[in-house]
Amino acid sequence: MLVGLDKRSENDIGRTDSIILANINTEAKTIKLVSFMRDMYVPIPGHGLNRINAAYSLGGPELLMKTLQQDFNIDVKYYVSIDFRAFQDLVDKLGGIDVEVKDYEVKEINKYIKEVNGSKATLLSGPGYQKLNGQQALSYSRIRKVGNGDFERTERQRRVLTILINKARNVSIFKIPDLASTVLNYIKTNIPTGKLMNLAYTVYRFGNTPVETIRIPADGMFENMRVKGMAVLVPDLEKNVVYLEKFLSSQGIAFSNLPSYMANNFHFNDKPIDNRGKVRNVIKIVIPKEDLTPTINEDETELEESIINPGSNNNVNNNSEVIVPSE
């Protein structure tokens, strides 16, 4: 699991600006990257429902890995995290990246460069195919208010990571130990140093094998909604798990049995949800009881932007229901 952190001070745990799963299959000789949209509204173990990027601030990389394991049925053992300034320095160490910058991206990129670097900012002069330094590459990866918003943003992040992987694969085999040591200076990880070195050699041996990428949630497998004033993406977990497993499988098929609570986890119904008898589209989410946090009763006038816990049901084993109203 690769995590990019919006971290502004040493004591700040940081917010997750990007969440990417990297899958390296030594038998099939494949490298696959999966972006997880940070605004996905999912169950977070021990903390109820929230945007997935809240998991890191609530419990660090361990809770974020546990969330991915629970909600997407994947076994995540290792993480790598890097903050903004470390990412900038690492890109500079690797000699920058070459990308096509579009007209509508230039202004936003420069805005983000100034936000992070202040008077030391090195701004873009215009669009076109060009080499970006660390400051510019970071900002290119972060912009989200132009083009196709956060969806295009995750595409940029996967593009940048793919370029960096390819640059690392093109170094001399004798420089791999130095490259791995350089990377370790800029990241935090639970990957043992020896295993990290083995991964570096493995990726090198793959040669020019293309890096494959996707995004979760996939098109047609989520709904845009507002919950408690937040704009969120509510995924169909069952469909996304199958889609993800097919992508990661070397045979292109899904093998696993879904956890029992995940079946029909997010599904849509039409039913009255307030005392005025107003019919609204709602989502019923079934999650384990132990993952529910106490709810606070909200005023009825705020019902349309609140999360409602109908209470426990002794006839339901190990599960509770939460109703999330949509707009």
CATH number of the CATH domain containing 23: 3.40.630.190
Q: Give every CB contact of residue 22 below 8 A, 6+ residues apart in sequence.
A: 1, 2, 31, 32, 33
- What is the pLDDT at residue 17? 87
Show the low-confidence residues of the chain (pLDDT under 70): 8-14, 250-327
pTM: 0.76
Residue 257 lies in a domain: no
- What is the pLDDT at residue 175? 81
- What is the pLDDT at residue 182? 80
Rounded alpha-carbon distances, angstroms, from residue 319 to 192, 250, 261, 285:
38, 34, 7, 10
Residue 251 lies in a domain: no
Residue 269 lies in a domain: no
Residue 32 lies in a domain: yes
- What is the pLDDT at residue 327? 44
Residue 307 lies in a domain: no
Supply the range of the domain harboring residue 139: 2-216
Residue 122 lies in a domain: yes
Reduce the DSSP state of residue 19 to 3 states and report it: strand
- What is the pLDDT at residue 274? 34
Residue 300 lies in a domain: no
- What is the pLDDT at residue 66? 94
- What is the pLDDT at residue 257? 56
Rounded alpha-carbon distances, angstroms, from residue 201 to 1, 18, 156, 179:
19, 26, 26, 11
Residue 64 lies in a domain: yes
- What is the pLDDT at residue 168? 82
- What is the pLDDT at residue 206? 86
Q: How many domains does the chain have?
A: 1
